[in-house]
Structure 1
Amino acid sequence: MLDRIRPYLPTAALAFLIVYFGFHAFTGDRGLLMSGQRDEALAAKTAELSRLHLERLDLETRARLLRDNSLSADLLEERARSLLGYSDPRDYVIRVQR
């Protein structure tokens, strides 16, 4: 019985490998059926990257204004008040929760 099946074993093994890799090509983590989720994740990460880029530009601008050669008095006063928790007696303080 084994002698009759032996010539077909390489063909069966090759067919099994083709089915196995074909199945995972469609349903795997990087398969064809997951392309929609990959596109959504890419769009979300692109939006996050642009938000972080704008935040970084804002922080770089604020840091540039705090340097010795171009010190902004208004920004320095704002930072000192927020870090120390002080305010001018003539100021209106409105507390918001984050």
Structure 2
Amino acid sequence: MSTRQKKIRKTGRLFIPIIAIAFISYFGFHSIHGDRGMRAMQRFEVRKAQLELRLAELVEDRKKLQRQVKLLPSNGPVVRDMLDERAREALNLSRPNEIVIFDFN
């Protein structure tokens, strides 16, 4: 009578840990470097800060324009200084004794 014995291979014992390490490595890498990972989150935060600064600038510009619009009457007399300023700006004219300061904000 003979019995067959199975030979236990060391490679069989390593199969599941190797697969587990591969999955952990894959998901770990993508949690840091992926499209929604930690580095992407940092880039989004920087972009958000830039856009918030731009929004603050635009809000200030809008308030400035709203103040200028309030000076222009809808049905009453036109404020002389505002009319003079708009005409000079539209026609690109100035008096000889005036100093022109360009504001590019």
Task: Please identify which structure carries the higher helix content.
Answer: 1
**TM-score, reference length from structure 2:** 0.59
Distance change >3 Å, CA 97–CA 35, structure 1 → 2: closer
| Counterparts in 2 of 1:45 and 1:96: CA distance versus 1, 3 Å | closer
Cα distance in structure 2, aligned partners of 1:42 and 1:76: 40
Give every structure 1 segment of 4 or more consecutive aligned residues whose post-TM-superposition deviation is greater than 6 Å: 14-18
Amino acid at match of 1:67: P
Deviates most, 30-39 or 64-73? 64-73
Which of the residues 23, 27, 38 maps onto 2:29?
A: 23
Matched, 1:84 2:88: no
Q: What does 1:46-85 correspond to in 2, within 5 Å?
A: 46-69=52-75, 71-85=78-92
Unpaired runs of 5+ residues, structure 1, are 1-7
Partner of 2:44: 38
Q: Given the two structures, how large is their TM-score scaled by the length of structure 1?
A: 0.62
Report percent identity of matched pairs: 31
Matched pairs, number = 90
> CA RMSD for the aligned pairs?
3.3
Letter of the 1:85 counterpart: N
Question: 1:43 and 1:95, CA in 2 relative to 1: closer, same or farther beyond 3 A?
Answer: closer
Q: Structure 2 unaligned runs (5+)? A: 1-14
Residues 50 and 29 of structure 1, relative CA distance in 2, 3 Å threshold: same
Q: 3-state SS of the aligned residue for 2:59?
A: helix
- Larger Rg over CA atoms: 2
